[in-house]
Structure 1
Amino acid sequence: MANLPSYGHVLPSLEVIRELVARGHRVSYANDPAFADVITAVGADFIPYRSTLLSYLDGRAEWPSDEIAHRDLFLDDAIAMTPQLRAAFEHDRPDLVLYDQGVGAVRVLAEQWRVPHVMFSPNSVPDRSDDELLREFEERRRDPRFSVHYGRWAEWLRNNGIPSGYLGRPARELALIPRVLQPNPDRVDSRRTTFVGPCFGARSEAWQPPAGVERVLLVSLGSTFTGKPGFYRDCVAAFGDLPGWHVVLQIGKHVDPAVLGELPGTVEVRDWVPQLAVLEKASAFVTHGGMGGCVEGLFHGVPMIAVPQDPHTDQPDNADVLVRLGVGRRIDPGRVTAGALRESLLELVGSPEVAARLAEVRQELMAEGGTARAADLIEAELAAARGIGGHSAAQPGRTRPVS
């Protein structure tokens, strides 16, 4: 398994990896050393590589607003990652490769090694056919800047023994999200992509609200988009004086709490929170609309106010899906005011229709199978590669990794 050094990408995979290890497989998990502890905690062997994206993914550096520059960053990371992982597995070739959708280098290595590969998608998946994607790809090459980017991409592929500059969609994909959060689920090829829903397990973190609190509100912009002191001040103004409410305000590691001014006793400021544990007690959630947070909010039946922070990600689409499902409100950053935030919260938590819809959606999530189903499907791919048929069982004395 290989992944980006981002909690939004790593956390959805961890319980699947834990389950594979529990079934007797040896799993090697490649990531930046910053994630060594969370990966070894689920029983995987940690394989380090140095990511060029770490400062962007942990919020220290601002993502470029230009799409081509954004793509260049991921290409640079793939180019840097490839020789590191090739060296790590030179004498220990995997039987099966798992990789996050943001890690193109590992798909290239799997093609080189001629081993089966399965992509994990912690976000929504493309809903166009291979032909549609290829036509779009060719049209974009007419843009001179994209053409330069494409030239670098194609050269990198050629240098790795792949003659075409276009890899296409993966043959097998597990979407670690519920189908209801896919913008156009009926257009997704079910022969290739399976929605397994939330892959959660028992979490050791615990959180309790202060005594006497009637309702809890979690405010979190995830781990990457946290440098927003003005937004946090708006949240304090909107929610800090609501009778009976306790506000958990996660501000990340790069905002000084002092810039928020004097805070009421109803507001608890943290640089990090055990999000699932807080959502278990929460009555509402203000989120940036990242897929991980949306999935966790739906899993716990919590209405959401989505404030998308990056137009180049799936955050705006996720926010729109929450609205379409009838379980959330969307407020774009330029329209955020204390009044708009407060009004949206009170509308959501006061609506019996929203509560009923949340209960229906949660039932759909639970029926998708989650962690156990994902592990079953991975074992089926491994069995097919070995010519066994059906679900495989780990073999005694097995020495090669599912990586």
Structure 2
Amino acid sequence: MARVLVVITPAEGHVNPSLGLVTQLIDNGEEVVYVCTEEYRSRIEQTGAQLLTYPFPQDAFSHDPVLKPQEYKHPYQFIYMMVGGIIRRMIPNVLRVIENQKFDYLIFDSLMGWGGTILAEKLGIPAVCSIASFAFVEPLGAGQSSNDKESDTEGLYETTMKITRELALEFQVRIPALEEIPAHAGRLKLVYTSRYFQPQAEKLDDSFIFTGPSIIPRQDAPTFSFELLRERYPQTVYISMGTILNKNLDFYRLCFEAFGDLPVNVVLSSGRYTCMEPLADRIPNNFIVKPYIAQLDMLQYTDVFITHAGMNSTSEALYNNVPLVMIPLTSDQPLVANRVQELGAGVTLNKHTLSATDLREALTEILSNPLYKKQAHLIGESLRNAGGYKRAAEMIMNHFAKV
């Protein structure tokens, strides 16, 4: 069987979707070497893969000025983040830790963009692009209104291309055009969603394989008495703002104000590194606040999910037929939220003008209108029927068996 190199950006929303695929590839007989950071050792090694690590700040996507998520108002901002924040930092490290090793094919994270092409070319092997969000028909920031002074597009272009030329020289590869850097490369592009949920799917060719979300149980999830929820109230609302942008205590105060007197269970996952002490005496009786909850389990008991509309969280909710109240914060989240709302499975709120009244009205609307649940089920059905990580592994292995 083949020896596979997997290189994924060290971020929850990118590593987690790859785990089911890696597990299945190994179960099918492939040997997998996974290059990532020490932070993800436990869950990666649980797949059976060999882990090789390199240094990368654990909180880079929360605090690093280049990597920290933002609202991209021009494509150059996103492309600069890829080149300056990811490719320049990851590719030399990856090549160092795999030096003198041989592989049959590569699976790389789409957020690496051109970096995946560099790896494939240096190793002389074909590649698969792992796309943890929607496949981008256009790069993030395209079509957004922007002020040239604010975005400094000319300066961003020059800075990005300067770094790109330096990297091309260092690795002895062709200098790409700017628009090639974020493009989804590789012989296959693996998209962890359904063709139905993917926006503008008709513009994507047959190299894009839609397999639905790669969902496997988390082995390190804490226990939670889900069965006790229904003893309190018949309906349950779950709130989680992801792993990077979850420290906003003002938002949690709004949730207390909006839902504290409603006859519903409200389960709030505040994040492992969020200090809730300032709000400890303000938590309403119908709230259960925990630093971390097994989300896949929680969603099986959830009537409405209040979320930042990250792709992983959104997909997991819809996979379980759960409609959403969405407050997109950054990156691809507005795109994801817009698609959910377009298909009738949720309501999107504006983070800049958000009020307790907005939250309460959105939740009440979804709880009282069964159409949202119906539409969530429709999307969920498309995700469940897409085949998941088992089909993804089969498609990849079949493709390379023919090469």
TM-score range, shorter chain: 0.7 to 0.9
TM-score under structure 2 length normalisation: 0.85
Q: Which blocks of at least 5 consecutive residues in structure 2 are unaligned?
A: 1-5, 143-150
* SS of residue in 1 equivalent to 2:111: coil
- 1:199-210 equivalences under 5 Å are 199-204=214-219, 205=221, 207-209=224-226, 210=228
1:127-146 alignment runs, 5 A limit: 127=137, 143-146=154-157
CA contact (8 A) 1:60 1:254 kept: no
- Other-structure match for 2:28: 23
Alignment check: 8 A CA contact 1:207 1:277 kept: no
Task: Return the alpha-carbon distance in structure 2 between the equivalents of residues 50 and 118 of structure 1.
Answer: 24
- Residue number in structure 1 paired with 2:377: 359
Letter of the aligned partner of 1:93 in structure 2? K
Which residue identity does 2:268 align to in structure 1?
Answer: L
Percentage of pairs with the same residue: 25
CA distance in 1, matches of 2:390, 2:163: 40
Q: What is the rounded CA distance, in whole Å, between the counterparts of 2:69 and 2:305 in structure 1?
A: 28
AA aligned opposite 1:22: D
Corresponding residue of 1:371: 389
- After TM superposition, the score normalised by the length of structure 1 is 0.85
Tell me if 1:158 matches 2:169. Answer: yes
Q: Is the 8 A contact 1:3 1:30 kept in 2?
A: yes
What pairs with 1:328-347 in structure 2 (closer than 5 Å)? 328-347=346-365
How many Å separate the matches in 2 of 1:357 and 1:73?
Answer: 35
For 1:112 and 1:278, the matched residues in 2 are separated by 44
Q: Which residue in the other structure is 1:183 paired with?
A: 199
State the match for 1:230 in structure 2: 250
Q: How far off is 1:356 after superposition?
A: 2.0
- Looking at structure 2, the residues matched to 202 and 145 of structure 1 have their Cα atoms a distance apart, in angstroms, of 41
From 48, 60, 82, the counterpart of 1:56: 60
Judge conservation of contact 1:64–1:70 (CA < 8 Å) in 2. no
Q: CA deviation at 1:370?
A: 0.9
Count, aligned residues: 370
Q: Does 1:384 align with 2:389?
A: no
Higher relative contact order (CA 8 A, sep 6+): 1
Report deviation, 1:116: 0.6
Alignment RMSD: 2.4
The one-character-per-residue Cα deviations of 1:290-310 (angstroms, maximum 9, x if unpaired) are 110110110011110110111
Q: Structure 2: how far apart are the matches of 1:29 and 1:348?
A: 41
Q: 1:46 aligns with which of 44, 51, 66?
A: 51
8 Å contact kept, 1:329–1:344: yes
1:250 to 1:202, Cα distance in 2 relative to 1, 3 A: closer
CA distances 1:288-330 after superposition (whole Å, capped 9, x unpaired): 01110110110011110110111xx111111111111111000
Sort the Cα spacing of 1:66 and 1:331 in 2 relative to 1 into closer, same or farther, 3 A: closer
State how far apart, in whole Å, the 1-side matches of 2:69 and 2:25 are.
Answer: 37
Q: Which runs of 4+ in 1 moved over 6 A?
A: none
SS in 1 for 2:237: strand
> Any conservation in 2 of the 1:174–1:374 contact (CA below 8 Å)?
yes
| Aligned counterparts of 1:29 and 1:275: Cα–Cα separation in 2 | 25
Name whichever of 269-278 and 150-159 sits farther off: 150-159
1:194 to 191, 209, 218: 209
